[in-house]
């Protein structure tokens, strides 16, 4: 059966932080000079030529190779499959046995439909890793009087654990649903996959609490849109803000009271019940609030947040691995129902997020 190093491609090595690539080069007595692509290519070529140490070298970094800066999307199987059943269904419905072989099609054969190119047992007998490849765009290169089009491919990693019955898709969150559908097809449609939405139906602060972290940035949309108000109402809100500025300069309450009365008249007795903070936000497309540390509890955030629909945000949390505490930052996407690591992750920290956010 394939091992994790056997389903590792040069793109995976290139995705490692440069400091790790330099460390691998040092271990292999290779030159550490150059940019990331040169280092990755140097390492991959050396390992291809020295197959006797290929497994040992890549196994050392296996907890980072399929992690790193990646987006996580989760699907739940309505009928949990054992690892044995999962493997047998995949083998029955695929052109080759991906658990014994690794088959990367030619670049011209790859389309936008995800293709399973290999699979391996994970760090325990209850988990599997599957590798998918698909066409994600094109590069255009000008040469003389012509423009050459070069296909761009992307990799995705699918993680399955029979103990949880959860399918985790790592890669571009926009492709997660297509990858899930292909996995369902390979499982002969014997199970249904559904997006795990529960953590994304709440405030991002709840996820921050689950991770024992800090909410350091949010992007939101106003609850009320500008088109719901007429010109007189919009002008009334602006006049109140102007009068408020003038009050701090002059301490004259008469002008401020006058503009508040006009606003009350413009909106009428029923409409003025809308919080004034919502009226201020109504003319905005997006609202971003952020800082270097926890923003909950800050006066402006607490004042505006009840009238905002969160679209995404950043959470910073700490995780101790091998006795060393490290800070990680993730971006939460409410619409995409995904969590993206902006700090390179390891398998253990991904497991921490999975266990605390969706389980």
- 68-124 pLDDT, tens digit per residue, is 999 999 999 888 889 999 999 999 999 999 999 999 999 989 999 999 999 999 999
Average pLDDT of the segment spanning 13-18: 94
Q: From CA 25, how far away is CA 126, in angstroms rounded? A: 33
Residue 213 is predicted with a pLDDT of: 96
Query: What distance in Å separates the CA atoms of residue 339 and residue 354, rounded to the nearest whole number?
Result: 10
**Range with the largest mean pLDDT of 63-67, 198-202, 281-285:** 63-67
pLDDT given at position 266 = 67
For the cut 80, the answer to whether the pLDDT of residue 56 exceeds it is yes
Is the pLDDT at 227 greater than 80, yes or no? no
Q: Which of 164-168, 201-205, 240-244, 316-320 has the highest mean pLDDT?
A: 316-320
**Residue 174 pLDDT greater than 80, yes or no:** yes
- Between 300 and 276, the higher pLDDT residue: 300
- At residue 226, the pLDDT reads 45
Flag whether pLDDT at 280 surpasses 60.
no
In the Cβ-directed half-sphere of 106, how many Cα atoms lie within 13 Å?
2
Give the whole-angstrom CA distance, residue 290 versus residue 301: 9
pLDDT of 276 reads 59
User: What's the pLDDT at 176?
Assistant: 95
As given in the structure block, the two tokens for residue 23 are 């460390």
Compute the average pLDDT of residues 17-26: 95
* Res. 274: pLDDT tops 70: no
Helix residue spans in the chain (DSSP H): 10-14, 18-27, 36-49, 51-60, 62-65, 83-92, 176-186, 204-210, 231-250, 253-271, 276-281, 299-304, 347-357
Please count the helices (runs of H) and the strands (runs of E) in the chain: 13, 11
Nearest alpha carbon to residue 353 among 213, 175, 180, 148: 213
Low-confidence winner among 47-61, 184-198, 320-334 (lowest mean pLDDT): 184-198
Least confident among 16-20, 75-79, 153-157: 75-79
pLDDT at residue 181 above 70? Answer: yes
Q: From CA 120, how far away is CA 52, in angstroms rounded?
A: 19
pLDDT of residue 284: 56
Mean pLDDT of the residues in the chain: 86
157: region left, alpha or beta (phi > 0 left; psi from -120 to 50 alpha):
beta
Locus of tokens 């920290």: 349
* Sign of the torsion angle spanned by Cα atoms 96, 99, 101, 103: positive
Residue carrying the six token digits 């047992």: 121
Give the pLDDT score at 355. Answer: 95
Cα angle: 343, vertex 13, 186; to 5 degrees: 90
* Per-residue model confidence (pLDDT) at position 100: 96
Would you say residue 3 has pLDDT above 80? Answer: yes
* Residue that is written with structure tokens 């902006």 in the block: 342
Q: How far apart are CA 309 and CA 287, in angstroms?
A: 10
CA R_g for the chain? 26
> What residues are paired with 314 via a beta bridge?
217, 331
Task: For 41, list phi and psi in degrees, rounded to 5.
Answer: -65, -40
- Which has more confidence, 35 or 261? 35
Q: What is the mean pLDDT of residues 301-324?
A: 87
pLDDT of residue 270: 47
What's the pLDDT at 219? 85
Q: pLDDT value at position 193?
A: 81
Q: Which residues, listed in sequence order, are joined to residue 156 by a DSSP beta bridge?
A: 132
Task: Please list the residues that pair with 112 across neighbouring strands.
Answer: none
When pLDDT is cut at 50, 70 and 90, the band that residue 228 belongs to is low
CA-CA distance, 213 to 237, in Å (whole number)? 37
User: What number is the average pLDDT over the span 256-284?
Assistant: 61
Residues sharing a CB contact under 8 Å with residue 221, sequence separation 6 or more, in sequence order = 285, 286, 287, 308, 309, 311
């Amino acid at each position: 059966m394939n091992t994790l190093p056997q389903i590792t491609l040069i793109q995976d090595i290139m995705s490692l932080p440069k400091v790790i690539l330099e460390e691998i080069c040092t271990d292999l007595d290779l030159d550490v000079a150059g940019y990331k692509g040169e280092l990755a290519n140097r390492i991959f070529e050396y390992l291809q030529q020295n197959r006797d140490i290929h497994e040992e070298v890549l196994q050392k970094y296996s907890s980072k190779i399929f992690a790193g800066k990646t987006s996580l999307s989760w699907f739940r199987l309505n009928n949990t499959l054992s690892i044995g059943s999962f493997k047998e269904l995949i083998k029955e419905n695929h052109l080759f046995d991906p658990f014994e072989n690794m088959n990367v099609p030619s670049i011209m054969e790859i389309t936008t439909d995800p293709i399973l190119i290999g699979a391996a047992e994970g760090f325990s007998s209850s988990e599997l890793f599957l590798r998918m490849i698909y066409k994600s765009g094109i590069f255009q290169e000008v040469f003389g009087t012509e423009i050459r089009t070069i296909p761009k491919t992307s990799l995705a990693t699918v993680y399955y654990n029979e103990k949880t019955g959860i399918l985790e898709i790592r890669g571009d969150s926009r492709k997660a649903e297509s990858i899930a559908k292909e996995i369902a097809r390979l499982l002969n449609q014997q199970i249904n996959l559904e997006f795990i939405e529960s953590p994304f139906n709440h405030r991002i602060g709840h996820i921050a609490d689950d991770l024992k972290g800090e909410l350091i940035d949010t992007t939101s949309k106003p609850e009320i849109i500008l088109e719901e108000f007429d010109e007189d109402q919009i002008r009334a809100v602006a006049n109140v803000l102007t009068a408020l500025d003038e009050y701090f300069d002059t301490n004259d309450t008469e002008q401020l009271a006058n503009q508040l009365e006009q606003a009350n008249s413009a909106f009428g007795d029923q409409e003025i019940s809308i919080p004034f903070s919502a009226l201020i936000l109504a003319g905005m497309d997006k609202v971003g609030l952020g800082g270097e540390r926890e923003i909950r509890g800050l006066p402006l955030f607490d004042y505006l947040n009840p009238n905002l629909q969160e679209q995404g945000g950043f959470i910073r949390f700490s995780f101790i691995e091998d006795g060393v505490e490290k800070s990680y930052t993730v971006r939460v996407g409410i619409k995409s129902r995904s969590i993206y690591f902006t700090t390179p992750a390891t398998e253990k920290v991904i497991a921490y997020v999975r266990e605390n956010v969706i389980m």
